[in-house]
Structures are given as C-alpha cells and as structure tokens.
Structure 1
Amino acid sequence: ASVFCVSLDPKTNTLAVTGGEDDKAFVWRVSDGELLFECSGHKDSVTCAGFSHDSVFVATGDMSGLIKVWRVDAKEEVWSFEVGDLEVMDEGPPQAHVLLAGTADGNSWMWKIPSGDCKTFQGPACPATCGRILPDGKRAVVGYEDGTMRIWDLKQGTSLHVLKVQPSTQHHHASTCPEGVGLILGEEGDLSATGDPLPLSFSTLWSPFPQVVCVFKMESTAPKAPTGEGEEAESNSVESLGFCNVMPLAAVGYLDGTLAIYDLSTQSLRHKCQHESGIVQLLWEENSAVVYTCSLDGAVRLWDARSGKMISEYRGHSAEILDFAVNKDASIVVTTSGDHQAKVFCVQRPDR
C-alpha cells in the first residue's frame, strides 16, 4: 500500500508518524525504525497525520473524514470525530492543543484537544482545499476551490475578510511566513485552455485590511499536446510552496518539474530549477536558504536558493515520493512513497 503522509514530532524530532493506503497510521522511532504503536480504526486511506506542537498528541485523518487523536506516551486514542470528506488538516499554533480541518463541503472545523470543544466555519459551497492557523493562534486562513480566501476569527467564529485572488482558479496550497504577516496561495488551472501562465498570489495578512500585494506569473511554456483520442492536453499547476525563514524568498514547485525561487522584496523571479519530473512537495531548511524537493521520479534534491544550483540528490525509492519531512538540524529526511515504503535519508554534510 502506498504511504501518503509523514510528519516528525516537533519537540525532539525522534518520532515519525506515517499514514497510508492500508487505512492505517504508524508512530515509529526514526533512529532505528522501531514501531511504537499503530493508529488503527480508520475507514479509508490515511492522508493527513501530524503531531501537536509539544509532541504530546498525534492526529490522523482519513479520506472519509474520520479524524482520530492519540496520546503519544500512553499510545492510546483519546478523541475522534467524523466530518465530511477530508481535504486538509492543520495541527494548530504553539499556544494550544487545537486542530483545524477543511472538508469537501466547504466547511472548516476547529476543535480543542482532547476536550473536543468544536467550532464550525461555513465557507462557500465548494471544497476547503488548504488552510492554516496563523501564528497568533487567533485567526485561520482557508483557501477554497472557487478561488476565494477567507480569514476567520477563531474566537468569534466569523469571517474577517474574503479575498478573491484570481477568477476561475482553485487554491490548493497555502503557506504563511514566520511572522504571520504574509501568505502565499497556490492556484491550479488549465494552461492549454487559457494560454496564460499560472499565477501565484502574495497577500499581506496585516489587520485590518489584508490585500493582494502581487501576483507572480511563471513564464509560459507550450503545453504538451494530447497524444491520443479522448486525452486532454497536460496542464501545469502549483504543487507545493513555502517561505524562506532567513531571506525574503519564496519557493514554488510546479507539476511540470519547475522549482521557481521568487524574490519577495523585488517581486521577481530569481531562479528556475528544472527537475526531470513533476514536483510533489518542497520544504525550506529551517535556518538557511536551502530548499528540499521531492518529485515523481523518486528523488529528493537539495537546492541553494541563492544561486539556483542543486547541492545534492538522494535516491532509493522505486516509485514517486508522496511526502517528506526534514528534521530541525537538517541532518535527516524522512520520505514516503508509492512503493509502499517510508525511508530515512542522512543528508548531513561537513560544511553545513
């Protein structure tokens, strides 16, 4: 069974949780792979899994909308809830044990853990496809398939702002910068139908009036033509994105294999780094301008965002990498793949 997701415990980075197509999640030790406990009882593929900020709890969510929370030290389930088809899950800010989930019916849910106290945020009648609780712990930003973004007051349960960034696009990825004053939304569309490059919007989240500051557009490349009857031309889309912690840079990974490094201060494209196949996920190293990418060719690559050059490449999977995580000191990468395996790569180098 494919392994869809992975997360490391934030406190020590010694534990990993992985979820997969077998309707199960596992919590295991990174150093030797020893299984600590199985998160069982799910009804569908486990596509979301993550630890609380203090590593006390681990949350797992499956495609059917069944969410479970487990206490790590006791290795036991402490809470569960069933929503509609699950699209996104966020484990919340460092101030509290809070869980946010977005569903296919457009609703977003927030619970206090383990009490289960619940609030619902009703969005438009389309999937809530990405979302984050902001670092202040008082607001959440949720992106929807109709191209809108809503900022929610978590205490009042009200929508503070609605932004329509681009018509006829779908938000599928969101990332907030460390200070919580900026947001990037990734959009999906059809290159062959519009003839236009896909935009990436950068919004400020300062109160009281968040606004779109700029829209980044990739240079158009000719879409691949359909090869047979009934086939559609391939389109490009934003697959992953994120902010650099130490420089005013943002990275965006595209389905066509392009890693774009954008300079936020000049609002310009700084580098284009090409992969052999589509990018699935990217992560910034916590304390440097190094970007990690995983892709459909089963490789993990490290890129220097300042120069745009590849630093190193790691292989070992026989299928696409579906998710990965990097520990705080950038010494290991944990990957999950369609080859039914999770792997731990040592990426530590003497000069880093």
Structure 2
Amino acid sequence: MSDQVDQQQNAQEPTEQDEFIDINEVGEEVYEDDENNQPPPEDDEDDMEINEEEGENHETLEIDMSNNSWTYFDKHEDSIFTIFSHPKLPMVFTGGGDNLGYLWTIHSQPPKFVGTIENHKESIISGGFTNDGKFLITADMNGFLQVFKSNKTGEKWNLFGELNEVDEILFVTIHPTLPFFAFGANDGSIWVYQIDENNKSLIQIMSGFSHTLECNGAIFIPGKDENDLTLISISEDGTVINWNCFTGQTNYKLQPNDDFKGVESPWVTIKNYGNLIAIGGRDGQLSIINNDTGKILTSIKTLDNVEDIAELSIEALSWCKNKNINLLAVGLVSGDILLFDTQQWKIRKNLKVDDAITKLEFINDTPILVGSSMDGKIYKWDSRTGELLFTGVGHNMGILDFTITENGKKLITAGDEGVSLVFVD
C-alpha cells in the first residue's frame, strides 16, 4: 500500500494564469467589466431575430437577465451536479458534467481558485468533506471514487486513495463525526469504508447486497461510541435496511409486502432527526420510521390529482431542528413544498414554486427554510408563516444543488448551465 500511496498524484495545482490563494486572504477585487459583479450575459442568444427570405416574420427569444448574486464561479464547462462547503474554511467544492471538480473560495469577490480535481472519467455527482475538514471525497457516475487529504491550511489537496468497486455510484454519504463514508450503487449494493490516516489507506468495513435495485440513498446514525456504526439505506425496490456496519448484519429490513401493506414505493430520499427517519418515494409516498424499533409510524400519500405521475416524486426532505417547531419539509417535482406537523402528521403549510424542487434545508436550528428549484431560483421562507423572505435569481437554467454557509448569510448554488452563484442575504 505504501508504494501505491507514493505513486498517487496531487490534485492539479493552479496554472500560472490562475492566482494561487491564501485561504485567509480576503480579496477586494471586483470585475472590471461589470460594476455590479454579475455574470456576463450570453450575448449571442439573448435576443434573437430570424429574418426569413420571404416576408417580415420575426421571432424574439427573451431571457430574464435579472441577477442579485454577490459573485459567481464559472470555470465548469457543463452542468454542476454537486456542491458542498468546507466545515472550517471559506471554501467550497463543485463537481460537474465536465468530469472535473474545483475548489474555490467564497469570502472574496471574485472567488479565488484553489485547485482542480481530475482523473474522473464521468460526471462528478457526489462527495463531501469529512467533519474535521481534513479529507475530501469525490465520486463519479463511472463508479470511480477519490479521497484527498489537505495540508494544514487547506491550500493543497493530495490524493490519499481511490476506489472503483461498482459500475456507477449514485451517492456518497459521510459520517457526521467519524472518518467513515458510504456509497450506494446502481446494482443495489452499499459500501462502507474507513479513512485510516495512521496507515494511509482506505479500509473496507462493509459491503451489503440485500437491495435488488438501485440503492438511492443512505444515512449514518450517530452511535453511543466508536463501536456503534449504523447505516440505513433505501432502494428503488421499496426496501429499507438498517445495517450494523461492523458485522454486515441487518438490524432490521422493511419490505413492501410485509411492512408497507403491499405498497412498493421506489424510495429516493432519506433524512433523519434523532430516532425518527423520513423516507420519500418516487410515487409520492412519505413514510416515518422509528429507528429504535424499526416500526413504521405513519405512511402518507402526499399528493393526488397530478397530471403527470412524475410530479409525485419526493426529491427533498428536511427536518426543522428547533425543538419548539415540529416541522418536516417535503419537496416534490410538482414544485410543492409540504410542511408537515411532526406531532400529528398533518400538513400545516403548502408552499409552491414554478418548477421541481431539487433541495430543501433548514438553516441550523432556525425555522428558516432554504429551497432550490429547476426554475433557476433559490428561496428562503419562514416556515412558521410561509412568508417568502428572499429570492435569489441569476441562473438561466435549474439549480441542482446548493450549500449554506455563515449561518445562512451566504447561499451558494450549483447551476445546470455550469455556473455557481453566491448570494448574500
């Protein structure tokens, strides 16, 4: 293993054209061409007239160029699929359809380039930083996963290890406190690895093969100590499994016929709060599970009477962590955001946007809910009243992901057009 580590290459350092950043430096640069520091317009298709040979037929294509972002990052040449922020530094990672990942700062205007993550052969769709900020994990649609370790300042990221166990990785989830991560695959398998810093290696802890279709999501449940490593995974086949990662055994397995009364929901989203787990299905089914007992507390069909069954899919879940506000936010392809009272499991508010919800997240333990949509906007609501507090505009295509920093003061987006915007509210 030591020979392998010695041969591993560093994440690509910036070229001479790219300024190498000091992570503690707060830049004061602004864009010379745009006093408001907005992304430059795409001038060849904003307004288009087509003059036909005969007659005076005109067709005008109008694009809304309004933009209230603070700054932007536009090195990607394809859709940005994932974005996540460093837990301690003013820095984010973006991964895209150009098979590249970028590290860049969010405290300066414009952002400062930190480095490039290469060697992926397909779109980078998931990853994350470990809780201590030492390690960066990136994964692509070709099943290739890389782990990088930073120096003390976070300016350089060296390749620590790599994996290629499956044909396609669908997601990566990282333990909230310990150096473990898991990923799920299109063949239904789920894998758990430890980042062993002392031995400079990635150690396989578990591989599970009880799902028969795609493993679409998983979450680690924090245990009492390091001897307790629990993971819950969901699948397209309608199963939910609680794993003991150290033994590879299942603590419980929920199945459509036995536990969901014959409803075979293709599960696509999962989030927990304490011992409660919420799972959302592609068919609009929402189920709440008591993880201590493995019992289903309630199952709810969230929407009816939709024109297209695809609008039912639950794409986002977020628990409000304020103990005095008992809410679960549920976002659907229909553009509906349903705020459920978690005591009675009744809808308290129904918010609506113009296109599919892609992500929801409450800001820390506040009642402020952030949501992104394929309508190209990012929103803040007061979940208690449903009042819209902020709308971030500037994308001309959908927002696929976002991250929240500085206790909600900054929202950083991942745009389908390959641009990341930083909003300051």
TM-score (structure 2 length as normaliser): 0.74
Query: Residue 55 of structure 2 corresponds to which residue in structure 1?
Result: none
Query: Residue 230 of structure 1 corresponds to which residue in structure 2?
Result: none
CA distance in 2: counterparts of 1:109 and 1:46, whole angstroms: 18
Q: Conserved in 2, the CA contact under 8 Å of 1:90 and 1:100?
A: yes
CA distance in 2: counterparts of 1:331 and 1:50, whole angstroms: 21
CA distance in 1: counterparts of 2:127 and 2:396, whole angstroms: 23
Query: Residue 99 of structure 2 corresponds to which residue in structure 1?
Result: 23
Q: Secondary structure at the match of 1:329?
A: helix
Q: For residue 234 of structure 1, report the CA deviation from its aligned partner.
A: 4.9
- Mapping 1:14-93, distance limit 5 Å: 14-32=90-108, 33-73=111-151, 74-84=156-166, 85-93=168-176
Specify whether residues 2 and 67 from structure 1 end up closer, same or farther in structure 2 by C-alpha distance, changes over 3 A only: same
Q: Secondary structure at the match of 1:22?
A: coil
Q: Conserved in 2, the CA contact under 8 Å of 1:11 and 1:53?
A: no
**Identical aligned residues as a percent:** 21
- Mapping 1:1-352, distance limit 5 Å: 1-12=78-89, 14-32=90-108, 33-73=111-151, 74-84=156-166, 85-94=168-177, 96-114=178-196, 115-118=201-204, 119-136=206-223, 138-164=229-255, 166=260, 167-177=263-273, 179=274, 181-189=275-283, 198-206=284-292, 209-224=293-308, 234-246=310-322, 247-347=325-425
Q: Conserved in 1, the CA contact under 8 Å of 2:270 and 2:280?
A: yes
Matched pairs, number: 325
Q: For residue 237 of structure 1, report the CA deviation from its aligned partner.
A: 0.9
Specify whether residues 308 and 345 from structure 1 end up closer, same or farther in structure 2 by C-alpha distance, changes over 3 A only: same
5+ unaligned residues in a row in structure 1: which ranges? 190-197, 225-232, 348-352
Which shifted more, 128-137 or 45-54?
128-137
Measured against aligned partners, the alpha-carbon deviations of 1:95-127 in whole angstroms (never above 9, x if no partner) come to x21110011111111111142110212222211
Measured against aligned partners, the alpha-carbon deviations of 1:65-116 in whole angstroms (never above 9, x if no partner) come to 100011122411101001221111101131x211100111111111111421
CA distance in 1: counterparts of 2:209 and 2:380, whole angstroms: 40
CA distance in 1: counterparts of 2:285 and 2:173, whole angstroms: 25
| One-letter amino acid matched to 2:179 | H
CA distance in 2: counterparts of 1:39 and 1:336, whole angstroms: 17
CA distance in 2: counterparts of 1:116 and 1:237, whole angstroms: 35
TM-score (structure 1 length as normaliser): 0.89
CA distance in 2: counterparts of 1:100 and 1:66, whole angstroms: 13
- Radius of gyration: which is bigger? 2
Measured against aligned partners, the alpha-carbon deviations of 1:188-228 in whole angstroms (never above 9, x if no partner) come to 12xxxxxxxx220011111xx2111011332413415xxxx
What RMSD in Å do the two structures reach over aligned CA positions? 1.4
Measured against aligned partners, the alpha-carbon deviations of 1:32-90 in whole angstroms (never above 9, x if no partner) come to 22121111100100000210001101100000110001112241110100122111110
Measured against aligned partners, the alpha-carbon deviations of 1:136-181 in whole angstroms (never above 9, x if no partner) come to 262000001111100000111111100135423211111011x3x0
| One-letter amino acid matched to 2:265 | T
CA distance in 2: counterparts of 1:171 and 1:123, whole angstroms: 15
CA distance in 2: counterparts of 1:234 and 1:243, whole angstroms: 24
CA distance in 2: counterparts of 1:317 and 1:290, whole angstroms: 22
